Amino acid sequence: MQRRQASSYAPTKEPSPSRITGKHTAVRTKPRVEGGISSGALIVIAVVLTLATFLFPSEMNQVEQEAGYLAQKAEHDLMDWVHRDGGSSQVSSSKWVDGEKRLKVKLKELADRQAKGLDIGVPVLTRYLGEDIPAWPDATITKEAWNAKVAEKYAEMSREEEEWRAKVAAVVSKDQRG
């Protein structure tokens, strides 16, 4: 097994106690990355900002107020954009969440039936598709009719999704134009 070569800033041997505590201790650090801001430049920036605050307090207050105003305006614009549809998405969301809960109850019923040896190998819904489609083809509907209803509902949902995507794209392009 080969030893890994030491990097340019790592010591090659353990420093002796005199080297650690000596007055002229050489400390090796990582080389500075090109394009980075040095600590000296950061100190200069901090000093300039501090002096500007004390030498020009009214101008600094004005800058702070403008920044606060712009932040509030951006927040309000974002909230307006999010709630542009008048909150209708919350109502539909609740409908679908409630439906998923009802589907879960139905699937638990199916699991109990399958534990008793009934309805083994039947196809099941993996997401809520509405009240008119049962969770699995039971005695009220044939397997073929159930499959047809499921396929029809998925096609309808795909059309709705495409319409929604078109509306969102129109809103986004309108917002980008101004």
Run means of pLDDT, 10 residues per run, the chain, 178 residues: 53 52 55 70 88 83 86 85 63 73 92 91 89 87 92 93 91 78
Question: Domain boundary at 29, 60, 82, which?
Answer: 82
| 96 and 45 part of one domain | no
Q: Would 32 be classed as within a structural domain? A: no
pTM of structure = 0.43
Residue 78 shares a structural domain with residue 129: no
Range of the domain at 109: 91-177
- The verdict on 105 and 157 lying in the same domain is yes
Burial 152-171 (b: 16+ CB within 10 A, else e): ebeeeeeeeeeeeeeeeeee
Shared domain for 173 and 118, answered yes or no, is yes
For residue 35, the model assigns a pLDDT of 64
pLDDT at residue 108, rounded to an integer: 94
123 with 98, same domain: the answer is: yes
Tokens of 46: 């901090």
Question: Residue 29 domain-assigned?
Answer: no
Q: CA geometry: angle at 136 spanning 134 and 137, to 5°?
A: 90
- Domain boundary among the residues 17, 47, 82 is at 82
Among candidates 160, 134, 161, 130, which has minimal Cα distance to 147? 134
- 21 domain residue, yes or no: no
- What pLDDT does residue 110 have? 92
Same domain as 77, residue 98: no
Q: Identify whether residues 101 and 162 lie together within a single domain.
A: yes
Domain assignment present for 25? no
Q: Is residue 16 part of a domain?
A: no
Domain termination site, one of 56, 82, 108 = 82
Residues 102 and 74 in one domain: no
In the chain, the number of structural domains is 2
